[in-house]
Copies of this chain bind each other. A is one copy, B any other.
């Protein structure tokens, strides 16, 4: 196999209570990428369609991740990458993660899978570091593993794939405003009240228990974030209105996707997710804010090869 075309899924990191530790993989939202072996020993990016992103390998998250993987493997095989970008950078649904994880997934496939999907995570994190300045796994892990991922620890890296109930669907609205990563970080406080931290880890425990037992009510009761959301939501116009509309329409829970500005909701069943998406869109009616809407099941497998 000398060429591969892959689907690189979008992801929702944090998932309310799970700030910095939880992420989930989407099924119907994502980029495509074509990777082919070349005769030289370089990684090139010959084409990026849909977004204005750097073609320079060292400045591109896919390129940097690919180089980190090939360096680790001691491989001198060359590759060319074409990226068909459908996830908007800066939307908060893992645009950079899709490219970073896609590059290492595709190259690993073309090399005969010397590494497992789990083992690819640290190389995709190199791309995340280039994109955001921080070495985080809560998007690349679910993009590579599928379903819900828990990043239990960074030192050492310990990622757990959780059970994902089959009827969960995500509705996402991406208001087309810019939330700078620096601003999303600067609003966070370095310390949190112990009482709120206890509530948060109670909710993390409830959410994970609900995922394993497919208890949608428990998932709903646990989808709260009393620490990050009250701060970051101030950067997203009409956040409370849109979240309220999602819950009113039957969503199990709603919150900020990643560091925003996208707002996600989780629902039981696709019909409800559709209604929830419409309600969320209604939240921006008359605001003058443009937005995209996505509805997707949870992708159990992560990256996939397209025919």
Interface positions of A (Cβ within 8 A of B): 17-22, 150-153, 158, 160, 162-163, 188-195, 197-206, 208-209, 212-213, 218, 221-222, 227
Contacts and interface: CB of A to CB of B under 8 A. Distances in A.
A209 B20 contact: no
17 contacts: A21-B201, A21-B202, A150-B202, A150-B209, A151-B202, A152-B202, A153-B203, A153-B221, A160-B209, A160-B218, A190-B194, A191-B191, A191-B193, A197-B201, A201-B201, A201-B204, A208-B209
A200 B197 contact: yes
Contacts of A206: 150, 152-153, 158, 160
A43 B79 CA distance: 81
Given A205-B22, A209-B150, A209-B162, A197 B197 contact: yes
Given A21-B198, A212-B209, A221 B152 contact: yes
Q: How many monomers of this protein are in the complex?
A: 2
A43 B193 CA distance: 41
A116 to B, nearest CB: 17
Contact of A222 (B20, B152, B194, B195): B152
Contacts of A212: 163, 208-209, 212-213
Given A160-B218, A212-B163, A221-B158, A152 B205 contact: yes
B204 A205 contact: yes
Contacts of A218: 152, 160
A222 B153 CA distance: 9
Contacts of A160: 205-206, 209, 218
Contacts of A201: 17-19, 21, 197, 200-201, 204
A198 B189 CA distance: 13
A20 B158 CA distance: 25
